[in-house]
Chains A and B, each alone.
Chain A
Amino acid sequence: MLKLMRGFSWPHLKSRKGRLFLTLMGIMLGVAIFSSISVVNRSTLESYYQLMDQMSGRASYQIVSHGNSGLPEELVFELGSVEGIEAAIPTVRNHSIIDGEANILVYGVDWELDGLVRDYEYVGKLSGNRDILLTESLANLLDVRIGDGVSLLTVNGFEEFYVSGLMSDKGAGRTNLGLFAIIPLESAQEVFQRNDKYDVIDIVLQRDSSLSAEEIQVMVGSLGLVERPASRGKDVESMLAGLQFLLGLAGSIALFVGVFLVYNNMSVSVQERRKEIALLRSLGMTRGGVLSLILSEAVIIGLLGSFLGFALGVILAGTVASGLSSTLLSMWRFNIGELSVNSFDIMVALGLGTTVAILAAFFPAKRAMDISPVEAYIGDPLSVDVETGDGGLRSFSGVIVFLIGCLLLLAFLFPEVLEGYNGEVLGSIGVGLLLLGTLLLLPKMIRGLSRVGRVVLRPLGFYGRLAADNLGRNIGRTTATVAALVIAVTMLLGMSAMSVSYQKEVEKWVDSNIGWDMLVTSSWFGLGSDVGISPEIVGELSEIEGVILASPERFTSIVLPEMDVTASLQVFDMRDFGQFAEFTVQEGPDSETLIKELHENGSIAISTQVAMRIGLGVGDHLLLPTPQGEQWFRIAGVVSDFGTGMGSIYMDRGEYIRYWQDERVDAVAINVEDGRVDEVAHMIESRWGQSHNLSVKTHGEFRADVDALVAESFLLTDSMAMLALLVGALGVVNTLLIAVLERRRELAILRATGATKRNIYWMVAGESLMMGLAGVILGIVLGSLVGMSMVAATFVSSGVLLEFWWPIEAMVNAVVVGLLLLPLIAYIPARIANRDVLSESLRFE
């Protein structure tokens, strides 16, 4: 078989490099996307768990406070004396800025105890109140040595610390990718305003202890939450699941197009070698032998495409990883260290690409198997490859499936029609049936397209008529091409509708909810430090000339007991809040009444996401864990929230301080007299910018930042959708190329009877235009429906309420690709057709 492949298959593949390249591209893109998903997924989780291990060391459990409000010192002593617990080790953890340039993670530790839970390799000591231990890589970055001074951002501004020792970048020294420092515990409590509290208590169990998290939780009570160090990994996994879904969709479409590219390539390659295959059969090769030979070619293409696809996937994974970095840094404070690639990934990639290639090649191989040995000795006049049979049953099924899909989708989009159904499932099934129905109806539509083409392409004269006829000549292939394009355009529009609707809704939300003139903070979107602002500075801000209002704000997170739901806790002084902003209320009283309710009655408002996840609404009561024990809060309103992904709980500052006894301030919202924004902003930055790393964002700047962040978060999916569209377009080019190769003798006849090269181009371009037209029109209709259901599904699945916006830009892109780019790139197959030497094409082969 190998000898036969070398003599029969290899020369053929080699002589059709362009076609081979297009086919490989189909496999490559699909495999690349799937490989990148796998690599990014594992690399992210491995980096996360590695970070958790480094941060938590030998701790079996860790106790974190509710809403990051801190754990009391007594808890350490109580837990330390419990039988089965070897040590309870407290830490204060804060992101800060050192020497004005590096964002670092600072641990405040009890140096005597901390060695029980974490391994450090170090030189020096940590004894003085202003001592700091740096990792070697951080010291190199800052160009400092033991004995040098460094300035660390604290709640009181930048304070001088002395480098008293260096840790090697091993064990705990690798925490936060080496951007890590340690200061004494008491010192950290002071400079980060922890008021005799800790952030985390690590629990190291005795060797034979069987204490469970639940038992320790009973001891801890409402003071904090007991969890395994890496338990937050599930949040990372759920974030990755969303990304995986979108990338998986793009990968599936790329592979679908890949299947069709391989199918096309193998079909034409069998067609071209009918005589050679007939000869092999006449010389004694069995039908099974022919099947094996053609499938072996597919395996080679599959292996080669998969291998190249895997390499491309690793490069793509690097791009995706860097695209994810801002999300990972802001939400989980870590980054992907190194991409983790293993042999399993390679095996999966090779298996995937090869399977796809074999499946795609099966029918062409079966056709090759049926070639009669007699064909080796008879002539081959031009054949009519118009397909017969009207596929009546298929079309009928298509109509039924399409109509059921429409009904389900309507029921999903207009829920008042039906009540008490599972909307998400209905919507998904509806969209699926709609697509399936369209695909079943597509062959019928293509026949119609051929007739429509005669009218649309009339300006091209007789060449338009020929182009229209050609569309109906290989219904299977034209259907697969248009289907790939339809799915790609549908995906592009669906995702863009989602992205545009989200962006528009965020803009509306920012306009109503963010009413301040400027916000002062030392941390933006979680990047940089999370050092708060001292009460003194808040007071001084309100006294600046021109400032009407300076309102302190606190942003933290909270885990709702027994619900496994994490929400953002947003604490405002509601009197102030009412003066510069309003809630976008989805359920409950108007914004003014709601704000009053929150301020005067100690109620809370929850965002639609939280309402969806906990299944509660206005008038219900929600149990929140506080350091004072669990407390019931009445829900006074359900509001929109685009500030956080997880959803928010809104509370008045007075109420928060009462239960959490935490007076920290993360940001100050400021309103100023008309026309004084720039002046006040400049003054704040010049006064506290250098010393306290405070920065000011005006309303306009903040809005621009939010827009950029939303655009960035959809950049990857938008790019994938655009890539799928281009792969779809590639499919059209491939189909045209193959059609041109199959019909080279016909084209030669046209040339012999007087058609110019330009005439041939217009004919091929006409064919391309009609396929583009069908793909784009159907794609726009289906994409809009998919977009509407995705927007509606966002509310059903996550509680984020969006209004549908038409994705105009994506529609323009689809039209440009379908109606301008496709006819233009038809130049490539047309050029290949024109390059043929007429005399050779006309000669009987």
Chain B
Amino acid sequence: MIRIEEVSKEYQRGTQVVRALNDVSLEVQPGEFLSIMGPSGSGKSTLLHLAGGLDMPSSGEVYFEGRALSVMKDREISELRRNRIGFVFQFFNLLPTLTAEENVALPLLLGNRRDVDTDVDRVLAMVGLSGRKRHKPDQLSGGEMQRVGIARALVCNPALLLADEPTGNLDSKTGEEILTLLRETNQELNLTVIMVTHDPKAAAYGDRIITLRDGRIAEDLKVGNGHA
């Protein structure tokens, strides 16, 4: 599904060059649920953004379904993000002027699709928010906002779902509900999921856990998943 080969990523911070990732290689199989753990500044989110084509590596290559991202044009990567990859963010990142259903429909509308209602209703039902679809973000709870975020990520039937600390801004009970939803989606739709978290309990929802330290993979662990 996704292959990361000898990827490094450097940032300029003032006069200093910060190396966020250092020669990382990784392969994720279709249908796999991968959790990425590590302390702050270890490069977790950077790895996730590179995997989703939000950013480009300083060296190395990222392959999605066998195609190198670095040779793709902006239009092609945008299409990829619109149709094949879904993102879930820690702070939900919903557009405040749109209703829940409009936020969910966003990837379809951006692709100028008109018949969006069926797909939107389907994913809203999947995340249990059919009754709240006309509400705007400021009328929803944190858990509901994250469900809308997940529905938005799923609406175009992606092959890969990338989640960046999806429970980081939720209480523990709501966090568990969201993780369960992600796990169920992974299994029911055979969806590949890569989730960044600093919480070992959340990471345990994955099939495999890698731990990053100082921009390198320090540990790569396959787990028998007790939450399934």
Q: How far, in angstroms, from A461 to B93 measured CA to CA in the complex?
A: 22
A839 in contact with B54 given A751-B78, A754-B78 (CB within 8 Å)? yes
Q: How far, in angstroms, from A369 to B93 measured CA to CA in the complex?
A: 28
A737 CB to closest chain B CB, in angstroms? 20
A379 in contact with B78 given A384-B96, A839-B46 (CB within 8 Å)? no
B106, CB-defined interface residue at 8 Å? yes
Closest to B168 in A: A844
Task: Find chain B residues with CB under 8 A from A746 CB.
Answer: 93, 95
A76 CB to closest chain B CB, in angstroms? 85
Binds A, one of B109-117, B118-126, B179-187, B209-217: B109-117
Task: Find chain A residues with CB under 8 A from B46 CB.
Answer: 839
* Partner pick for A838 among B55, B91, B110, B137, CB 8 A cutoff: B55
Tell me if B97 and A749 are in contact (CB < 8 A): no
B22, CB-defined interface residue at 8 Å? no
Tell me if A753 and B82 are in contact (CB < 8 A): yes
Q: How many A-B residue pairs have CB under 8 A?
A: 98
* Partner pick for B169 among A379, A749, A755, A839, CB 8 A cutoff: A379
Q: How far, in angstroms, from A837 to B45 measured CA to CA in the complex?
A: 13
Task: Find chain A residues with CB under 8 A from B136 CB.
Answer: 384
Tell me if A837 and B55 are in contact (CB < 8 A): yes
Q: How far, in angstroms, from A427 to B152 measured CA to CA in the complex?
A: 58
Closest to B145 in A: A381
B81, CB-defined interface residue at 8 Å? yes
Q: How far, in angstroms, from A420 to B35 measured CA to CA in the complex?
A: 87
A382 in contact with B110 given A752-B54, A839-B45, A839-B54 (CB within 8 Å)? no
* Partner pick for A382 among B78, B93, B152, CB 8 A cutoff: B93
Number of B residues contacting the other chain (C-beta, 8 Å)? Answer: 38
B50 CB to closest chain A CB, in angstroms? 8
A756 in contact with B54 given A382-B93, A462-B112, A843-B45 (CB within 8 Å)? no
A469, CB-defined interface residue at 8 Å? yes
Tell me if B81 and A754 are in contact (CB < 8 A): yes
Q: Digitize B67-97: 1 where CB-to-A-CB distance is under 8 Å, 0 elsewhere.
A: 0000000110011011100010111111111
Tell me if A381 and B169 are in contact (CB < 8 A): yes
Q: How far, in angstroms, from A114 to B98 measured CA to CA in the complex?
A: 88
Number of A residues contacting the other chain (C-beta, 8 Å)? Answer: 35
Closest to A841 in B: B54
Q: How far, in angstroms, from A750 to B54 measured CA to CA in the complex?
A: 11
Task: Find chain B residues with CB under 8 A from A756 CB.
Answer: 74-75, 78
B49, CB-defined interface residue at 8 Å? yes
A753 CB to closest chain B CB, in angstroms? 5
Tell me if B97 and A386 are in contact (CB < 8 A): yes
B107, CB-defined interface residue at 8 Å? yes
* Partner pick for B91 among A751, A753, A755, A844, CB 8 A cutoff: A844
Tell me if A839 and B49 are in contact (CB < 8 A): yes
Tell me if A842 and B93 are in contact (CB < 8 A): yes
Closest to A749 in B: B93
Task: Find chain A residues with CB under 8 A from B220 CB.
Answer: none
Tell me if A753 and B75 are in contact (CB < 8 A): no
24 A-B pairs with CB atoms under 8 Å apart are A379-B91, A381-B91, A381-B92, A382-B92, A382-B93, A383-B96, A386-B97, A463-B110, A469-B98, A745-B93, A748-B93, A750-B110, A751-B81, A754-B78, A754-B79, A754-B107, A759-B110, A838-B54, A839-B45, A839-B46, A839-B54, A842-B89, A844-B90, A844-B91
Contacts beyond the supplied A759-B78, A839-B49: 9 A-B pairs with Cβ under 8 Å: A380-B91, A462-B109, A462-B112, A469-B97, A750-B106, A752-B52, A756-B78, A838-B55, A839-B50
Q: What is the interface of chain A, defined by CB distance below 8 A to chain B?
A: 379-386, 461-463, 466, 469-470, 473, 745-746, 748-759, 837-839, 842-844
List the 4 closest A-B pairs by CB distance, nearest first. A754-B82, A839-B49, A384-B96, A462-B109
